Amino acid sequence: MERTYTLVISCPDRVGIVAKVSNFLAMYGGWITEANHHSDRDANWFFMRHEIRADSIPLGLDELRTAFAPIAREFEMDWYISDSEKKKRVVLMASKESHCLVDLLHRWHSGELDCEIPCVISNHEDFRELVEWHGIPYHYVPVDKNNKQPSFDKVEEIVEQAGADCVVLARYMQILPPNLCEKYVGRVINIHHSFLPSFAGAKPYHQAYERGVKLIGATCHYVTAELDAGPIIDQDIHRVSHRHISEDMVRLGKDVEKTVLARGLRWHLEDRVLVHGNKTVVFN
Amino acid sequence: MERTYTLVISCPDRVGIVAKVSNFLAMYGGWITEANHHSDRDANWFFMRHEIRADSIPLGLDELRTAFAPIAREFEMDWYISDSEKKKRVVLMASKESHCLVDLLHRWHSGELDCEIPCVISNHEDFRELVEWHGIPYHYVPVDKNNKQPSFDKVEEIVEQAGADCVVLARYMQILPPNLCEKYVGRVINIHHSFLPSFAGAKPYHQAYERGVKLIGATCHYVTAELDAGPIIDQDIHRVSHRHISEDMVRLGKDVEKTVLARGLRWHLEDRVLVHGNKTVVFN
Amino acid sequence: MERTYTLVISCPDRVGIVAKVSNFLAMYGGWITEANHHSDRDANWFFMRHEIRADSIPLGLDELRTAFAPIAREFEMDWYISDSEKKKRVVLMASKESHCLVDLLHRWHSGELDCEIPCVISNHEDFRELVEWHGIPYHYVPVDKNNKQPSFDKVEEIVEQAGADCVVLARYMQILPPNLCEKYVGRVINIHHSFLPSFAGAKPYHQAYERGVKLIGATCHYVTAELDAGPIIDQDIHRVSHRHISEDMVRLGKDVEKTVLARGLRWHLEDRVLVHGNKTVVFN
Amino acid sequence: MERTYTLVISCPDRVGIVAKVSNFLAMYGGWITEANHHSDRDANWFFMRHEIRADSIPLGLDELRTAFAPIAREFEMDWYISDSEKKKRVVLMASKESHCLVDLLHRWHSGELDCEIPCVISNHEDFRELVEWHGIPYHYVPVDKNNKQPSFDKVEEIVEQAGADCVVLARYMQILPPNLCEKYVGRVINIHHSFLPSFAGAKPYHQAYERGVKLIGATCHYVTAELDAGPIIDQDIHRVSHRHISEDMVRLGKDVEKTVLARGLRWHLEDRVLVHGNKTVVFN
């Protein structure tokens, strides 16, 4: 796979942004392999993502950043340039449901998910053997329901030591404390087992069964301090009928959950997800 | 199309129901063209639907009912037998959105929807010409927002005179008063333009846009006194992205709405929808 | 709706196209409301579409074209600029199935489809009343199966007189002769009632039923001289089961057909579909 | 999970089958937990499946079979009764793509797939470690492309020794010889990575890319001597666009393949799939 730089920008919308950025890239002979724009007219905000072949540009990454900085200032951009050779570090967290964890580990192991997984954290010992078989360290951090803070302090310490760019709650059944939600804003991805905003909170499939819905779903979103209310990255559904009891919904939902989570994580890793307010732009 | 009787049953679950009913039908040589059962183990309730070729049974409809009544009593059944030759009478109600109304009229006109449409009621004059072109009477019943009861009294009168088996709210933007909801329980079908229970109430697409969901939906359900909370017949969704503003969602949603409503109504007309509590069994 | 110009480009891929075009637009203060690029690396071909607010540019449409022409020449572009105020003229053709025709007429009548429909052509008289109710001329051009050419000469004459930008075969069950396919290449849209390339040709639902597939579909594509083999614009599917006979598939398929055709036509009218070889780029 | 017997029947259609079978079950007090019928009117064939609580019947399995045999003879039934306590034995075969294999192993390991996996057979060594970690024997049977028969003799021997009820080709990239297809008819399940009948044979995603389809799919089917032409159990699709090259289709298709294969296998294991001619009845 060829090395690419990815330039991601969001800023107040105005005329001339595309021209300025395109000129900048063209001036250095940048070979753009993918480009996406979006103008949110309600928010008057502009979003842009370029993938550029690294070997087409006669600048190193730091030089490129330095060269671009004046343009970014002029347009008051939130921006960054990522390098495909610097893989993102993703910490996985799980509890007692294995389907999302196994799915992500397999995608990583088979080369489909382009990241590093420095460790897995769980509040149970169940998956140690599985995780370690993949050559990944396993941290068992039990959570005392009457005194959770020490556990989350431990989690924070592990995440910091792992140099994590991103934390994935792969059916981790604990609610992160607000301080961690805020510290890692835009970097913690959760899979919720319902079609949000329906059935936030506990036991969504049982809620869905009680309501008699004909479709169940799953939602991949960034975690915020408000439970199951963060920016949505992706959602999908599966049809159910009166023949399905809540246990069937749990089973059928697993396939939706793991697919949606993997998709959302992949887009995050490829810098395709831009958050603005409580919504996402996904350049996929 | 051959004439059929449809026997629809729901009752407390116990051993021997199927045998008893099957024997009854076999005894008269009944040719079953479709049979469905469902046992709801949580509710301990049993549901059953049989379609039988009318010409295979040496009894008239009334005789058949009389012959079956003792079995129904024995098993404490809610039951009825419908006759494909007696078409159901469906009153359509609409406001200012035409997509569901046009879609249903066309399905009826082309013979896909097997029912009679004695009239259309609307709180606007907009669709008179369209409806009358189909040879269907059009009743304009404006609703004074400060005094709605006289209008709904008028609606009730029209529905009664039409001998309606069923009322379809084809994007009728008024909330029926509780007395009508109760009088016509299980006989008023609504299409709500969201994936319920998300975004009940007004302007669901705008709510969906604000929340940043990645799928929008529509829900066909029986109307109850509690707004948008009745038993769900069918639901479906359409994918959206950051590129879609709420106007786009409105447009994309129309196709989902009309398809889901037509599907739900068809199942209702074919006696495939059995309500129990706030849920439906749909033998489709 | 504000007036927009849409600049559509395809050309051999090389560095600097985006910069050149963006600069050109920025130079005149062009307010880009939507921009899309695609680089087909196998074909080494580049595709681009810009929507620009007409009132943001101090040039008339002809002046804009003149100003852009040198850039187009430099990059060997296939290109055009369309004007949202000049509505495309769409001739509809139908036979004896009404669902696609009614659906398109309703979308046009309700303002969803932004085009003119100068006339409808059919080889049957069935839909005259319906079409004329919409205020649209109806041309009955019967096709003699032993001598079709005179009919297609007549069709060609009507299409020419109508000044058609586009012809839609809304379940028109005749095969256009090769000379018309070639004359109107990229301008005739067909809906085929199968998930192509499966079940090309006649009676696709019966073929699908015989094969025992579990999903049926429809395909919207540009017509070419080779039957059902032209560039695909869109496809969709509906689930079926052993309970569905071919008549059910026909019925269920209608909803897919009309939705897919309307979607494909909409994208075509918005200049979102770019053909290259036998494939399409759809900027939706 | 309670023990159940599953009675599966197919036979020429005539009046009285349901009554006879229902009576038989009711006579012994059989508690039916699920019942499905289907009458194929084109083929004049009847299909039926009953799940019965084993503890509700005062007969052992053999006695039950003996008691039912006269009814089966009377109606010329193909029939069997399976026992949920006797788990089916499933041999998995794989080549170099791991996604289906890993997915099935995980579903088995987590208890979702209710079967035994006596062994895995592969023409490559790649997955030995993975399979053996699950405690399952791994048989490496390389295939010499110039002399395949000895390999398939070996495969047959292993399948026989494993006492396999069913063989799953989990992206096993070899074509089984006709004698094995015939010997194990209705017992070998394959996942083909296209939406059959489109793109049978080799490299379907590349074929799909070349044709420019907008949906890719996967098909789970029983293997017959004619390649990719056996009875279809299930199919599903995923949307693609011009942005997806064939490598993307391969990746996106994997999720469809593994989901469809797992679903088809589950239905097979639960005796929900009845084959008639080249089509299936799936009581799901």
Letter string b/e over residues C140-172, b meaning 16 or more CB atoms within 10 A of that residue's CB: ebebeeeeeeebbeebbebbeebebbbbbbbbb
**Interchain contact B195–A (C-beta under 8 A):** yes
Contact A26 C19 (CB under 8 A): yes
Nearest-angstrom CA–CA distance, A192 and A105: 19
Give the residue numbers of C annotated as catalytic, written as ranges. Answer: 228
What does the angle CA D263 – CA D118 – CA A99 come to, to the nearest 5 degrees? 40
Decide the pairing of beta strands A215-222 and D215-222: unpaired
Mean pLDDT (whole number) for D136-147: 96
Burial of A227 (0-12, 13-18, 19+ CB in 10 A): middle
Average pLDDT (A171-195) is 96
Of all residues in chain C, the percent with pLDDT exceeding 90 is 93
Structure letter (DSSP) for residue C195: S
Lowest mean pLDDT, pick from B19-33, C249-263, D223-237: B19-33
Which residues of chain D lie closer than 8 angstroms to A133, CB-CB?
133
Cβ of D235 under 8 Å from any chain C Cβ?
A: yes
Cβ–Cβ gap D251/A112 under 8 Å:
yes
Cα distance between residue D259 and residue A152, in whole Å? 35
Res. D15 pLDDT band, cuts 50 70 90: confident
Partner residue opposite B102 with nearest CB, options C106, C251, C262: C106
Of residues C14 and B272, which shows the higher confidence score?
B272
Provide the token pair at D6: 């599953």
Q: Which residue has the tokens 């200032």?
A: A73
Choose, out of C4, C17, C22, the residue to mutate when testing the contact with A (most A CBs < 10 Å): C22
Residues of D in contact with C282 (CB under 8 A): 214, 241-242
CA within 13 Å, CB half, C221:
28
Residues of chain C in contact with residue B110, where contact means CB-CB under 8 angstroms, are: 98-99
Going from N- to C-terminal start, the domains of chain A cover 4-83, 88-282
Alpha helices in D78-145 (DSSP H): 99-109, 128-133
Is the distance from CB of D252 to CB of D244 less than 8 angstroms?
A: yes
Does C19 contact A19 at a Cβ distance shorter than 8 Å?
yes
CA distance D184 to D224: 9
Report how far residue C29's alpha carbon sits from residue C267's, in angstroms, rounded to the nearest whole number: 27
Tell me what the mean pLDDT of segment C154-164 comes to. Answer: 98
pLDDT band at D33 (very low <50, low <70, confident <90, very high): confident
State the smallest CA–CA distance between residue B210 and chain C in angstroms. 21
Q: Give the chain C residue nearest D229 (alpha carbons).
A: C211
What would the two tokens of residue A272 be? 């395709």
Beta-bridge partners for A166: A90
A114 interface with D at CB cutoff 8 Å: no
As a whole number of angstroms, the distance between CA D266 and CA D271 comes to: 9
Subunits touching A (CB < 8 Å, at least 3 pairs)?
B, C, D
Q: Where are the alpha helices (DSSP H) in C91-189?
A: 99-109, 128-133, 149-161, 178-183
Residue D114 to chain A, least CA–CA distance (Å): 13
Write down the residue that tokens 């050559």 correspond to: A135
Mean predicted confidence (pLDDT) in A40-57: 94
Within the 242-271 window of chain B, which residues sit less than 8 Å (CB to CB) from chain C? 251, 254-255, 259, 262
Nearest-CA distance D38 → chain B (Å): 7
Residue C230 has, within 13 A of its CA and on its CB side, a CA count of 25
Lowest mean pLDDT among A37-41, C236-240, C265-269: A37-41
Cβ contacts (< 8 Å) between D13 and chain B: which residues? none
Chain A hits for C34, CB-CB cut-off 8 Å, are 37, 39
d(CA A206, CA B9): 27
Q: pLDDT band at D155, cuts 50/70/90? A: very high
Q: Which of A197, A212, A215 sits opposite B231 (nearest CB)?
A: A212
Q: How far apart, in whole angstroms, are the C-alpha atoms of residue A48 and residue A57? A: 19
Strand partners, B8: B49, B80
Averaged pLDDT of chain C: 96
* D4-83 matches D90-282 in fold: no
Q: Are D164 and D88 in contact (CB under 8 A)?
A: no
Among C15, C26, C39, the residue with its CB nearest the CB of A29 is: C15
And the tokens for C239? 């689930």
* Whether pLDDT at C1 is above 80: no
Is the Cβ pair A39, C30 closer than 8 Å? no
In sequence order, which ranges of B52-192 are alpha helices (DSSP H)? Answer: 61-74, 99-109, 128-133, 149-161, 178-183
Residues of chain B with C-beta less than 8 angstroms from the C-beta of A212: 231-232, 278-280
Distance from CA of B26 to the nearest CA of C (A): 22
Q: What does the alpha-carbon distance between residue B281 and residue B268 come to, in Å, rounded to a whole number?
A: 11
Q: Does D175 touch chain C (CB under 8 A)?
A: no
DSSP, res A216: E
The answer to whether the Cβ–Cβ distance between C39 and A29 falls below 8 Å is: no
Question: Mean pLDDT, to the nearest integer, of D148-177?
Answer: 97
Residue A53 in contact with partner chain C when CB distance is under 8 A: no
Distances in Å between the alpha carbon of A146 and those of A95, A149, A177, C207?
18, 9, 14, 64
Q: By three-state DSSP, how is residue D200 classified?
A: coil
Is A37 near chain D, with CB under 8 Å? no
Pairing of strands B232-239, B215-222: antiparallel
The CATH classification of domain D4-83, taken from the options 3.30.70.260, 3.40.50.720, 3.30.1490.20, 3.40.140.10: 3.30.70.260
A26 in contact with C at a CB cutoff of 8 Å? yes
- Residues B251, C99: C-beta atoms closer than 8 Å: no
Each residue's pLDDT tens digit, A242-272: 999 999 999 999 999 999 999 999 999 999 9
Q: C169, C167, C171: which is closest to C99 by C-alpha?
A: C171
Cβ of B255 within 8 Å of Cβ of C259? The answer is yes
Cα–Cα distance, D251 to D174 (Å, whole number): 21
* Amino acid found at B135: G
> What element of type H or E holds B190?
strand B188-192
Most distant CA pair in chain C: distance in Å? 62
Which option is the CATH number for C88-282: 3.40.50.10860, 3.40.50.170, 3.30.930.10, 3.90.1150.10? 3.40.50.170
Kindly state the DSSP code that residue D144 receives in the 8-state scheme: B
CA distance B160 to chain C (A): 31
Containing H/E element for D81? Answer: strand D78-83
CB-based contact, D1 to chain B, within 8 Å: no
- Burial of residue B34, with CB atoms counted within 10 A of its CB: 0-12 exposed, 13-18 middle, 19 or more buried: middle
CATH topology of domain D90-282: Rossmann fold (3.40.50)
Subunits next to D (3 or more Cβ pairs <8 Å) are A, B, C
Hey, are the CB atoms on B98 and C112 less than 8 Å from each other?
no
Assign 3-class secondary structure to A6-28. Answer: EEEEEEECCCCHHHHHHHHHHHC
Q: Reply yes or no on whether the pLDDT at C19 is more than 90.
A: no
Contacts of C233 in chain D (CB under 8 A): 214
- Is C55 in a helix, a strand, or coil? helix
Interface predicted TM-score (ipTM): 0.96
Contact yes or no for A282 and B241 at CB 8 A? yes
pLDDT of C152 over the 80 cut: yes
Q: What amino acid is encoded at A77 in this protein? A: M
Collect all residues of chain B within an 8 Å Cβ-Cβ radius of residue D33.
39, 41
Distance CA A180, CA A169 (A): 13
- Taking residue B157's Cβ as centre, other Cβ atoms within 10 Å add up to 12
Top residue of C102, C238, C250, C267 to mutate, by most chain B CBs within 10 Å, is: C102
For residue A138, what are its two tokens? 């396993």
C256/C219 Cα distance (integer angstroms): 9
Put residue A81 in one of left, alpha, beta given phi > 0 → left and psi -120 to 50 → alpha: beta
Residue B150, token pair as written in the block: 């006289």
**Distance separating alpha carbons of residues A216 and A194, to the nearest angstrom:** 6
Which residues, 6+ apart, have CB-to-CB distance to D159 below 8 Å? Answer: D91, D121, D167, D184
Under an 8 A CB cutoff, do A23 and C25 touch?
Answer: no
How far away is chain C from the Cα of B70, in angstroms, using its nearest Cα?
32
pLDDT tens-digit profile, chain B (284 residues)? 799 999 999 999 988 898 899 899 989 999 888 899 999 989 999 999 999 999 999 999 999 999 999 999 999 999 999 999 999 999 999 999 999 999 999 999 999 999 999 999 999 999 999 999 999 999 999 999 999 999 999 999 999 999 999 999 999 999 999 999 999 999 999 999 999 999 999 999 999 999 999 999 999 999 999 999 999 999 999 999 999 999 999 999 999 999 999 999 999 999 999 999 999 999 98
| B279 part of contact set with chain A, CB < 8 Å | yes
Using an 8 Å CB-CB cutoff, list chain B residues near D18. 18, 22, 25-26, 32, 35
Q: What's the N-to-C CA distance of chain D in angstroms?
A: 19
For the segment A196-253, what is each residue's pLDDT rounded down to a tens digit? 999 999 999 999 999 999 999 999 999 999 999 999 999 999 999 999 999 999 999 9
What's the confidence (pLDDT) of residue D16?
A: 86
Is the preceding omega at residue C118 within 30 degrees of 0, hence cis? Answer: no
What is the β-pairing status of strands D45-53 and D4-12? antiparallel
Structure tokens at A77: 């951009």
Rounded mean pLDDT, D213-221? 97
Closest Cα of chain B to D54: distance in Å? 14
Q: Is residue A237 within 8 Å of residue A220, measured between CB atoms? A: no
Q: Is D152 exposed, middle or buried (0-12, 13-18, 19+ CB in 10 A)?
A: middle
pLDDT at C191 over 80: yes
Residue D1 has pLDDT above 80, yes or no: no
Using the predicted structure, report yes or no on whether residue D114 has a pLDDT greater than 90: yes
- For chain A, what is the mean pLDDT? 96
Q: Which of D9, D13, D20, D22 to mutate to test the interface with B (most CBs of B within 10 A)?
A: D22
Residue range A108-115: mean pLDDT, rounded: 96
* Torsion angle of C-alpha atoms A23, A25, A28, A33, degrees rounded to 10: -130
Closest alpha carbon within chain D to B14:
D31
